[in-house]
Chains A and B, each alone.
Chain A
């Protein structure tokens, strides 16, 4: 049974890219345009891994992550943060907010797939 991956990104092109890339690798990919939408979805459906964009309007990635970690059902779910900031401050935030891993834009598709496989182990 293919692993379910939830992609949360406000940018449609990025959503499509991730969908195409991960589907090609045999994953079951679901995409969501906002953190709120994704949180509603997670109430009913279980997933194996989440790819979460940091910079999003309204509710940003960190806030979404906090909500995910606050819920009993998704507390230990692997979450990979997708960020453009490559600074130590963001790395520290990632550790503090209990993200599983993070990947910085622009990333290569190989790198992304490798990271997803790593967290799913």
Chain B
């Protein structure tokens, strides 16, 4: 149940309860005062009317009941409440009844037992019976104090009860109107509260969406206002922190860019002297400068070999720096993986043959296409095969290409029966400049950039690389690359 509904229900219940109680109290007091005033009015009227009625009765009782009624009739008519009147003897015998007299009859009879005590009283009395009928008794005494008659005035409260009933209906109507009003009022009040909460919510959603300039300015002198203030402070803190982070990130990016540029430049600078050195050695060896002794030529061969190695290492550094510099401008096109894998395997066939190891490839799916930079992908696969051949002395290197589950990605595996990678070193092999042992560098060459380039390329193509290895038994590299969505689907339907 929403806050709006809750508030509306509480408000309307409270309103109706309040109005109901006050209405009931008012009704009760109204009925009470009404009844008392009616009785009092009848009493007063009866006291005045009694001597006249008795006088007429004494005068006409022997002649005609109709004449007597004609005398008494105006007295009855003048009072709004009286219905009829009786003249009763102190012994309880009805001597005259205005109802009977109207028909021209006088039928003496005994009064009911329950009103007998009132008739014997020497002062005016009254009571209300179960039918809300008011009975007023006025005794008539002669000048000697003898109790001659008691006049019994009867009044039905029906007419006044009608009025009370009308009041009651009006009261119920008022309560109903009050309930409707209270629902409207409470809805308005609730809307006022929930509207603020809604604004707060909208602002919080905007903040969640990353709008750091959203307005939390909800002026309200209540808990919502306090909450909005907390949100506003939170927003300011988040904004300033994010700005700080962005600045730091920019600085870091700039530093990284400067570093990459620096490395690229350094590598270029290094290559010019290398060119001169290698060139001159070549000239000396070919006898273009002068004759050198076989010992000098032997030494020069070693110098040349080392310079070439240095040149290759500079190339590796350049290559990885280039990947980092151009990762955002990667030239992605449709790449046929089976073609690329075959090409790489062919490249390393001679190297494998020299080492007398078997290099084979199994292409399980010729139609695997990815969106990627062909040169990078080729360099990545070649690097893996290069490593496998380099670190395998006996046995074989197997390259496999197949489609992954649901044709969502391609799986490239390069498995060898080489020296393997120690378990504790497995995690570090993708780090830059890392090679399991420094002695392996001396034995196998390379400065450990190969696998970090592989990892870089796989990352740039949204892929995953996994390695499994057992020392002395071999290594398995598995690369998962996401397949080209639309193009691949077309290839499938084409088949």
Contacts and interface: CB of A to CB of B under 8 A. Distances in A.
Interface in B256-277: 267-268, 271-276
Does more than half of chain B's interface fall in helix, strand or loop, or is it mixed? helix
Contacts of A106: 271, 274-275, 278-279, 307, 311
B221 interface: no
Contacts of A107: 275, 279
Interface in A57-105: 84-88, 105
Interface residues of B, number: 21
B311 A21 contact: no
Nearest to A18: B279
Contacts of B274: 105-106
A96 B475 CA distance: 45
Contact of A17 (B276, B322, B375): B276
Contacts of B271: 84, 105-106
B268 to A, nearest CB: 5
A17 B282 CA distance: 10
Contact of A87 (B275, B276, B288, B322): B322
B309 to A, nearest CB: 12
Contact of A13 (B276, B286, B288, B315): B276
B276 A20 contact: no
B26 interface: no
A56 to B, nearest CB: 11
A24 B311 CA distance: 26
Interface in B279-320: 279-280, 282-283, 286, 288-289, 307, 311, 315
Interface residues of A, number: 21
A55 B268 contact: yes
Contact of A109 (B267, B283, B315): B283
Nearest to B315: A86
By CB atoms of chain B within 10 A, which of A14, A16, A85, A105 has the most? Answer: A105
B275 A24 contact: no
Contacts of A46: none
Contacts of A85: 268
Contacts of A108: 278-279, 282
A42 to B, nearest CB: 24
Nearest to B375: A88
A14 B275 contact: yes
Contacts of B267: 84
Contact of B279 (A21, A55, A84, A86): A21
Interface string A34-65: 00000000000000000000010000000000
B268 A21 contact: no
Contacts of A13: 273, 276
B282 A110 contact: yes
Contacts of B289: 20
Nearest to A103: B275
B175 to A, nearest CB: 88
A21 B315 CA distance: 25
A14 B272 contact: yes
A16 to B, nearest CB: 8
A17 B279 contact: yes
Contacts of B280: 17, 20
B324 to A, nearest CB: 14
By CB atoms of chain A within 10 A, which of B276, B286, B311 has the most? Answer: B276
Given A17-B283, A105-B271, A106-B271, A24 B276 contact: no
Contacts of B276: 11, 13-14, 16-17
Contacts of A16: 276
Nearest to B265: A55
B268 A109 contact: no
A55 to B, nearest CB: 6
A24 B267 CA distance: 30
A105 B282 contact: no
Interface in A1-46: 11, 13-14, 16-18, 20-21, 24
B158 to A, nearest CB: 112
Interface in B69-98: none
Nearest to A25: B288
A22 B216 CA distance: 78
Contacts of A110: 282
A109 B286 contact: yes
A17 B280 CA distance: 6
A21 B275 contact: no
Contacts of B282: 108-110
A85 B271 CA distance: 10
Contacts of B286: 109
A24 B278 contact: no
18 contacts: A16-B276, A17-B280, A20-B289, A21-B279, A21-B288, A55-B268, A84-B267, A84-B271, A86-B315, A87-B322, A105-B271, A105-B272, A106-B274, A106-B275, A106-B278, A106-B307, A107-B279, A109-B282
Interface of A: 11, 13-14, 16-18, 20-21, 24, 55, 84-88, 105-110
Given A20-B289, A87-B322, 13 more contacts: A13-B276, A14-B272, A14-B275, A16-B276, A17-B276, A18-B279, A24-B288, A84-B267, A84-B268, A84-B272, A105-B274, A106-B279, A109-B283
